[in-house]
Amino acid sequence: MTDHTISVYDAELRTLAKHIAEMGGISEGMIGDALRALVRADSFLAKRVIADDRDLDNLQRRVEEDAVRTIAKRQPMASDLREIIASLRIAGNLERCGDLAKNIARRAIALQGHALPPKLVHGIEHISELTQAQLSRVLDAYVTKDVETADFVWRNDDEIDAMYTSLFRELLTYMMEDPRNISSCTHLLFCAKNVERIGDHATNIAETIIYQATGSVPSNERPKQDNSSTNLVH
Amino acid sequence: MDASVQTASTTNQSAALANASKVKMRGKNVNVFYGEKQALFDVDLDVRKHQVTSLIGPSGCGKSTFLRCLNRMNDTIDVCRVQGDITLDGKDIYDPSVDVVELRARVGMVFQKPNPFPKSIFDNVAYGPRIHGLANSKTELEAMVVTSLQKAGLFEEVKDRLDGPGTGLSGGQQQRLCIARAIAVSPEVILMDEPCSALDPIATAKVEELIDELRSNYTIVIVTHSMQQAARVSQRTAFFHMGNLVEEGETDDIFTNPNDKRTQDYITGRFG
């Protein structure tokens, strides 16, 4: 796109995008580390994730302050306005992703010394891989302003939902088999839910990228396969 | 909410919706020349009843030229030639049988710089009704002046000094006096050519508030260089560039998601 007559305005928008990209990098790293910490029972790594969250929060605050200042100074219109609103929204989504990763890291520390059933651990690893791939794809789409990829991410959250529902059932089965599993399985259940929520944030970011580029959000209902909040297991 | 109030507001809304689709003035294939130089190229633009239409665009884009065509102000420029059709309620305003003075009473104008006559506040507003012979008695004339000043949101500020000079008012008050003068002859359309560009932010806010109030009784066309003002006061926006009407549509759409790249570039500050 053509540059603004006021070149500082372009610099301000570039800084916003740069900080969002940085936030994306940090949150991706935190999510990967939190899950490694969980699977490998690595409390050192888990503590690093918890510490990293502060950087993410600071960056989000920075994005918010910069966005508010740019709105006040430049009275942005049309695509500029959407870009700034998008940066605010995406910063919020990424900050939440960081919180969820931090929560997984805390649970990884709590689960230290508990033997976890390998099948469940594989399940968590699998849902995480799917989610991380979604997040990474959507962050690339943000940088390259690629609406097609964003749309692909937006449509592909159902696999994560389905995976989460199946993990949910499996964890319940373990708990019913032996009540001594309840404590660790509840932690794992929350971890799985957190991962699933990160997937939701990735689709929110995808929606925002589509909004930024086109001015409207996708109106069709997204396919959903997470039945865990409406089903009872007997 | 009180049920009757709710019904009234629903009725108002549906009346507003019904009016929104009605065309008050229509320009079709409008071409304007200043001597050899063409200033407008085949402009088609509808001005809808009881709506504020803003005309935006960089300097020299033709927006003021188009505005001035709507009440034949361009007639006063010798070298200016207007082609095409411009209608008011379906009637051609350039038809030889049209009385230009009467047309300008129906389509009033407010200019960039407040230009009160060097007369009293009262006489400024009474001027139009007097020359058009609209009042049958002194009482009727006084009532017209008071109503116009009230509609322009100025009466409370000047009621104790109606005999004082209009030029003694502040810039913002002078502009509202000019609006009162324009509405004293009961126009149907009010044209405003950058009415706030010489005013401070508070006076601007008062005029903008007034524009919104006037909309229920009049149809308004405003030329403005302030994109924020166009976004705030108008329901429809037309973007002109180099004598062409590039895009016209709902103000909300134009300022959030315009169709044309030139509109996008202009309103986001990428040229102009």
pLDDT band at B5, cuts 50/70/90? very low
Q: Give per-residue burial for A74-92: e unless 16+ CB within 10 Å, then b.
A: bebbbbbbbbbbbbbbbbb
Residue A176 to residues A117, A183, A185, A208, Cα–Cα distance (Å)? 14, 12, 11, 41
What pLDDT digit, counting tens, does each position of B213-266 carry? 899 999 999 999 999 999 999 999 999 999 999 999 999 999 988 999 999 999
Inter-chain residue contact B227 with A80, CB threshold 8 Å: no
| Chain B from 13 to 32: CB within 8 A of any A CB | none
Please check the confidence at residue A54 and state whether its pLDDT lies above 90. yes
Mean pLDDT for the stretch of residues A147-159: 94
Please check the confidence at residue B124 and state whether its pLDDT lies above 80. yes
A216 to chain B: nearest residue by CA? B257
Q: What is the pLDDT of residue B199?
A: 84
> Which domains occur in chain B, in start order?
24-267 (3.40.50.300)
CA angle A158, A216, A135 (to 5 degrees): 40
For an interface test with B, the pick among A77, A214, A216 (most B C-beta atoms closer than 10 Å) comes out as A77
SS3 content of chain B, % helix, strand, coil (to 5): 45, 25, 30
Spatial distance between the Cα atoms of B129 and B140, rounded to a whole number of angstroms:
10
Mean pLDDT for the stretch of residues B108-114: 92
Find out whether B11 and B68 touch, Cβ atoms under 8 Å.
no
Nearest CA to B262 out of B249, B243, B247 is that of B247
Domain residues of chain A, as ranges?
7-214
Q: Which residues of B touch A215 (CB under 8 A)?
A: 256-257
What pLDDT digit, counting tens, does each position of A107-136 carry? 999 998 888 888 888 999 999 999 999 999
Inter-chain residue contact A78 with B270, CB threshold 8 Å: no
Q: What is the pLDDT of residue B21?
A: 67
Q: Taking CB atoms and an 8 Å cut-off, how many pairs form between chains A and B? A: 44
Q: Which has the higher per-residue pLDDT, B86 or B16?
A: B86
Q: Which residues contact A188 (CB under 8 A, 6 or more apart)?
A: A107, A111, A116, A120, A124, A171
Spatial distance between the Cα atoms of A164 and B64, rounded to a whole number of angstroms:
62
Helix (H, G, I), strand (E, B) or coil at B89: coil
Chain B: closest CA distance from residue A215 (Å): 6
Query: Which of A2, A82, A215 is nearest residue B270 as measured by Cβ atoms?
Result: A2
Q: Could you report the predicted ipTM of this complex, rounded to two decimals?
A: 0.73
Q: Which residues of A touch B267 (CB under 8 A)?
A: 77-78
What pLDDT digit, counting tens, does each position of B164-218 carry? 999 999 999 999 999 999 999 999 999 999 999 888 888 899 889 999 989 999 9
Inter-chain residue contact A4 with B255, CB threshold 8 Å: no
| Chain B from 223 to 262: CB within 8 A of any A CB | 227-228, 231, 255-258
pLDDT band at A52, cuts 50/70/90? very high
Q: Which residues of A touch B264 (CB under 8 A)?
A: 78-79
Please check the confidence at residue A55 and state whether its pLDDT lies above 90. yes
Q: Which residues of A touch B258 (CB under 8 A)?
A: 78
Q: What is the pLDDT of residue A71?
A: 94
Share of chain B above pLDDT 70, in %: 92
Please check the confidence at residue B6 and state whether its pLDDT lies above 70. no
Find out whether A198 and A135 touch, Cβ atoms under 8 Å.
yes
A229 touches chain B (CB under 8 A): no
Please check the confidence at residue B16 and state whether its pLDDT lies above 70. no
B178 touches chain A (CB under 8 A): no
Chain B: closest CA distance from residue A130 (Å): 34
Share of chain B above pLDDT 90, in %: 79
Query: Which of A5, A74, A82 is nearest residue B270 as measured by Cβ atoms?
Result: A5
pLDDT band at B3, cuts 50/70/90? very low
What pLDDT digit, counting tens, does each position of B62-109 carry? 999 999 999 999 988 999 999 999 999 999 999 999 999 999 999 999
Please check the confidence at residue B2 and state whether its pLDDT lies above 80. no
Q: Which residues contact A174 (CB under 8 A, 6 or more apart)?
A: A117, A120, A181, A185
Q: Which residues contact A25 (CB under 8 A, 6 or more apart)?
A: A139
Mean pLDDT for the stretch of residues A123-150: 96
B150 touches chain A (CB under 8 A): no
Residue A132 to residues A27, A153, B153, Cα–Cα distance (Å)? 10, 11, 60
Q: What is the pLDDT of residue B11?
A: 55
Share of chain A above pLDDT 90, in %: 81
Q: Which residues of A touch B271 (CB under 8 A)?
A: 2, 5
Please check the confidence at residue B14 and state whether its pLDDT lies above 90. no
Q: Which CATH architecture has domain A7-214?
A: Up-down Bundle (1.20)
| Torsion from C-alpha of A54, A60, A61, A67, nearest 10 degrees | 170
Mean pLDDT for the stretch of residues B129-154: 93
Please check the confidence at residue B146 and state whether its pLDDT lies above 80. yes
Per DSSP, B71 falls in state T
A83 to chain B: nearest residue by CA? B256
Please check the confidence at residue B1 and state whether its pLDDT lies above 50. no
What pLDDT digit, counting tens, does each position of B28-68 carry? 999 999 999 999 999 999 999 999 999 999 999 999 999 99
Chain B: closest CA distance from residue A70 (Å): 13
Spatial distance between the Cα atoms of B205 and B222, rounded to a whole number of angstroms:
15
Inter-chain residue contact A77 with B265, CB threshold 8 Å: no
What pLDDT digit, counting tens, does each position of A5-51 carry? 888 999 999 999 999 999 999 999 999 999 999 999 999 999 999 99
Inter-chain residue contact B270 with A214, CB threshold 8 Å: no
A7 touches chain B (CB under 8 A): no
Q: What is the pLDDT of residue A117?
A: 85
Q: Which residues of B touch A81 (CB under 8 A)?
A: 256
Task: Determine the number of helices (DSSP H) and then strands (DSSP E) in chain A.
Answer: 7, 0
Which residue carries 């490998």 as its tokens?
A40
Q: Which residues of B touch A5 (CB under 8 A)?
A: 269-272
Chain A: closest CA distance from residue B268 (Å): 5
Find out whether A41 and A111 touch, Cβ atoms under 8 Å.
yes
